[in-house]
Amino acid sequence: MTRWLTDDEQRAWRTFGLASRLLTDRLERDLLAAADMPPSYYELLVLLSEAPERTMRMSELAQWTNSKPSRISHAVNKLEDKGWVRREHCADDRRGWLAVLTDEGQDALQEAAPRHVASVREHVIDLLSPEQVRQLEKISQILLDHLTGRDDVRDRAT
């Protein structure tokens, strides 16, 4: 039997859904306008910038971004065209490829980051109290754990 949403649950769900879509759209538009960079490329540059030697296996990038290898390959091609990333063969695996953040890519990221953070602050963080930010993290972690299959290891009572 279907457990229909209560009026309160339905309002919460619809508000969350619309806010999520509008927020994603706004952050994407702001990042494109500020740095001519879609969020998916920004995310790849961030991952590479935080990796040892600014290098990651293409398969790792796919895992971290929950993307198909073909999508990562396409994105890395575009980043290569901009000079922000280069591809190298894995020394220990002839079939494997590495994505390496170039100095130009690091510069592009450093230029885009302050604008992106300003957008995140304007449209999310600065609208919330510190307690609401903590609640947002907690709620988001519960959803993330569930969607990644890790919800059985987290204690939701904390």
Burial class (CB within 10 angstroms; exposed 0-12, middle 13-18, buried 19+) of 95: exposed
Q: Are residues 117 and 154 in the same domain?
A: no
Strand order in the sheet with 55-57: 55-57, 93-101, 85-90
Neighbours of 150 (CB within 10 A): 11
Q: Are residues 119 and 67 in the same domain?
A: yes
pLDDT (0 to 100) of residue 30:
96
Q: Does residue 8 sit within a domain?
A: no
Count of domains observed in the chain = 2
Q: Are residues 48 and 110 in the same domain?
A: yes
Domain that holds residue 145: 129-158
Q: Of all residues in the chain, what percent carry a pLDDT higher than 70?
A: 95
Farthest-apart Cα atoms in the chain, separation: 58
**pTM of the predicted protein model:** 0.84
pLDDT (0 to 100) of residue 50:
97
Q: Which two tokens stand for residue 47?
A: 């991952």
Q: Which residue has 């190298």 as its token pair?
A: 88
| Model confidence pLDDT, tens digit, residues 8-52 | 999 999 999 999 999 999 999 999 999 999 999 999 999 999 999
Q: Are residues 147 and 75 in the same domain?
A: no
pLDDT (0 to 100) of residue 91:
84
Q: Are residues 116 and 95 in the same domain?
A: yes
Q: Does residue 12 sit within a domain?
A: no
Q: Which amino acid is at 154?
A: R
